[in-house]
Amino acid sequence: MANTNFSVLNRKQQLEKLQTEIFDLLIIGGGITGAGIALEAASRGLTTCLIEKNDFASGTSNKSTKLIHGGLRYLKQFEIGLVHESGSERAILNKLAPHLVVPEKMLLPLIEGGSYGKTLTSIGLMVYDFLADVNEDDKRKMLDKNKTLKKEPLLNEAVVLGSGFYTEYRTDDARLTIEILKKASEYGATVVNYCEMTSFNYTDSKIENVECIDHHSKQRLIIKAAHYVSATGPWVDVIRKKDVSINNKRLHLTKGVHVVFPYEKLPIKQAIYFDVADGRMVFAIPRGKTTYVGTTDTNYSGNLDHVVATKNDAAYLLKAINKTFPTVGLTMEDIQSNWAGLRPLIHEDSKDPSELSRKDEIFISDSGLISIAGGKLTGYRKMAHRVVETVLKTIPKKDKEHIKESSTETIALVTPSLNSNKEVASYIKSLEKQLSDFGITNDFYASYLCGTFGKNTDIILDKANTISFGTPKERLIRAELWYCVHYEMANTLADFFVRRTSSLYFNIKSIHKYLDVVLMDFKEYLDWDADRVNAEKTQMQQLLYDATHYYENEF
């Protein structure tokens, strides 16, 4: 049964609990890192709350390349430990949520004058397989030129020498974050979005409590806990400045942009990881009716709350695509949508953005604030474990007798669970039959529903069957919204169209088609007045503009 506590309809009770309970741990930040810490802490017996100033996964955790990958490129930087940890974690995550963390065959073309030679690539992929503990079916193969071009005919025949063929794992980063938070809530964590920490209050130079504002009601809150963690990604230094604990250790922000094409414009047969002229590597990944490409990697010092793609970003990716796949001839007009996000890396003097380590680091201030910075999507579970262990070190032995050992390695992330890739494939087949009976024969819709909601798709289909009017697709969209409001704390149009369903990136036409009907249902569920309706429309229009336009400069 889905978790009914994780609903915007229970927001009043959740806000009351934040003010009346003294928690063991308060987490600031509702991205993948904060979500992982919440699940780790709550499942081990710590009373836990988490607040997020916007929606969950609205920052970096919705703007990645959407891969749970082993970090092949980190071998070039000799970050052996990071590769080993990343490789091990992706196998664990595939077991915990096989519908969300899906094996993706990856082709690494070898080209004349490229970054990877045949011998070093073969050795590198072999070491990668060993470090990542890759199973037999997923181990790398080295392909000659003919086999490479058979795998991907769009590659440039004139320069391709062969390829490496190996396995990564694809995910939906925002969905993964939401599911982890839902699971943390099942373990008793109090989790609230649109609740911003505005300041710390101190007693004897130690944090006594935090002041917050609920952005919907404008209510001011005081939340008290024994321990405070900032898992705010690009905003870590902003929070440290509020705590007056910024020092020589600081963040180095870089921007990554991805562009999305209709699949017929870039019809690659499987994911490809390819060379760019400046020595970087770029991914091209098919997803449903689209292919997305990224990422850029440039220093960033602009507005943290409004990160956009520029014309230079798009031109860089278009040049890389057209050189690698010379027959496609893509232009700016072919781009369907884009997303731009920030990577919060640890600053290192004299290093280019692409050379900076993806390792995480924990900062502890004199006031007691614990900040976690750096890291990558794949390593969220290990990062969470390190943070909670840091918290536990400060607790007297007698006060932590009830604390359990970490068990997140075995906690299925979605209830009810799918337990293997084979079960996922079987469930998709059953959904195809049900959707056909419902009147929907779209080749990708069953995969979309399974990859988004897992077996909770059954709840959505049951709801859709109770809606008596509208086309089959409209009834299904309304059922998805109903589920997201009642079980996934969707507060806004953007929550639904961006973080819960990824429509803004991968099915942007559906927003234009179903925006009004979704808006009317939201209005009914959450009793929006005319001002709120207009505000929601304005915000959605801005997001649609940002996703389909390219700015001259950053903000």
Q: Which tens digit of pLDDT belongs to each residue from 151-199?
A: 999 999 999 999 999 888 999 999 999 999 999 999 999 999 999 999 9
Neighbour-count burial of 229, counting CB atoms closer than 10 A to its CB (0-12 exposed, 13-18 middle, 19+ buried): buried
Q: How confident is the model at residue 357 (pLDDT cuts 50, 70, 90)?
A: low
The amino acid at residue 12 is: K
Check whether 424 has a pLDDT greater than 90.
Answer: yes
Q: How many residues does the chain have?
A: 555
CA–CA separation, 413 and 98 (whole Å): 10
pLDDT, average across residues 398-420: 95
Secondary structure (DSSP) of 311-338: HHHHHHHHHHHHHHSTTT---GGG--EE
Q: Helix or strand or coil: residue 172?
A: coil
Q: Are 74 and 49 in contact (CB under 8 A)?
A: no
pLDDT, average across residues 119-146: 78
Residue 409's alpha-carbon distances to 89, 130, 178, 502, 537, in angstroms, are: 9, 20, 18, 27, 41
Predicted local confidence at residue 139, as pLDDT: 78
Check whether 429 has a pLDDT greater than 70.
Answer: yes
Predicted local confidence at residue 279, as pLDDT: 82
Q: Which tens digit of pLDDT belongs to each residue from 187-221?
A: 999 999 999 999 999 999 999 999 999 999 999 99
Q: How confident is the model at residue 4 (pLDDT cuts 50, 70, 90)?
A: low
Q: Which residue, chain included where needed, has tokens 């690494």?
A: 108
End-to-end CA distance of the chain: 44
Predicted local confidence at residue 163, as pLDDT: 92
Predicted local confidence at residue 126, as pLDDT: 80
pLDDT, average across residues 215-233: 96
Q: What's the pTM value of the predicted model, to 2 decimals? A: 0.96
CA–CA separation, 227 and 23 (whole Å): 8
Q: Which residue, chain included where needed, has tokens 């057209």?
A: 322
Predicted local confidence at residue 69, as pLDDT: 76
More confident: 496 or 131? 496
Q: Which residue, chain included where needed, has tokens 């695509």?
A: 321
CA–CA separation, 292 and 285 (whole Å): 5
Q: Helix or strand or coil: residue 528?
A: coil
Topology adopted by domain 421-548:
Helicase, Ruva Protein; domain 3 (1.10.8)
Bridging pattern class, strands 67-68 and 102-111: unpaired
Check whether 498 has a pLDDT greater than 60.
Answer: yes
Give the Cα-Cα-Cα angle 38, 40, 42 (nearest 5 degrees).
65
Domain ranges of the chain: 8-60+174-250+357-400, 79-170, 421-548
Q: How large a percentage of the chain has pLDDT more than 90?
A: 80
Predicted local confidence at residue 168, as pLDDT: 87
Predicted local confidence at residue 72, as pLDDT: 65
Predicted local confidence at residue 428, as pLDDT: 97
Check whether 364 has a pLDDT greater than 90.
Answer: yes
Residues ≥6 apart with Cβ < 8 Å to 130: none
Q: Which residue, chain included where needed, has tokens 């709120």?
A: 532
CA–CA separation, 231 and 242 (whole Å): 14
Distance of CA 347 to the CA centre of its chain: 23
Q: Which tens digit of pLDDT belongs to each residue from 24-78?
A: 999 999 999 999 999 999 999 999 999 999 999 999 999 999 998 766 666 666 6
Closest-CA residue to 184 (of 332, 302, 27): 27
Check whether 492 has a pLDDT greater than 90.
Answer: yes
Counts of helices then strands in the chain (DSSP H, E) = 17, 18
CA dihedral over 374, 378, 379, 380, signed as positive or negative: positive
Check whether 403 has a pLDDT greater than 90.
Answer: yes
More confident: 320 or 133? 320
Buried (b) or exposed (e) across 304-317, using 16+ Cβ within 10 A? beebbbbebbbebb
pLDDT, average across residues 495-516: 97
Predicted local confidence at residue 192, as pLDDT: 97
Q: Own/partner pairs for 419-423, CB < 8 Å, 24+ apart?
A: 419/95, 419/98, 420/98, 421/94, 421/98, 421/102, 421/103, 423/98
Check whether 118 has a pLDDT greater than 90.
Answer: no
Q: Which CATH number does the domain 8-60+174-250+357-400 belong to among 3.50.50.60, 3.40.50.10330, 3.30.930.10, 3.30.2130.10?
A: 3.50.50.60
Q: Which of 269-273, 355-359, 455-459, 468-472 has the lowest average pLDDT?
A: 355-359
Q: How confident is the model at residue 366 (pLDDT cuts 50, 70, 90)?
A: very high
CA–CA separation, 87 and 106 (whole Å): 15
Q: How confident is the model at residue 374 (pLDDT cuts 50, 70, 90)?
A: confident
CA–CA separation, 47 and 400 (whole Å): 12
pLDDT, average across residues 232-237: 96
Instruction: Provide the β-strand partners of residue 28.
Output: 51, 230
Predicted local confidence at residue 359, as pLDDT: 79
Q: Are 511 and 503 in contact (CB under 8 A)?
A: yes
Predicted local confidence at residue 2, as pLDDT: 59
Q: Taking the CB of residue 451, how many other CB atoms lie within 10 A of it? A: 23
Neighbour-count burial of 167, counting CB atoms closer than 10 A to its CB (0-12 exposed, 13-18 middle, 19+ buried): buried
Q: Are 229 and 28 in contact (CB under 8 A)?
A: yes
Angle between helices 508-526 and 472-487 (to 10 degrees): 50
Predicted local confidence at residue 350, as pLDDT: 62
Q: Taking the CB of residue 469, how many other CB atoms lie within 10 A of it? A: 7
Q: Which tens digit of pLDDT belongs to each residue from 521-534?
A: 999 999 999 999 99
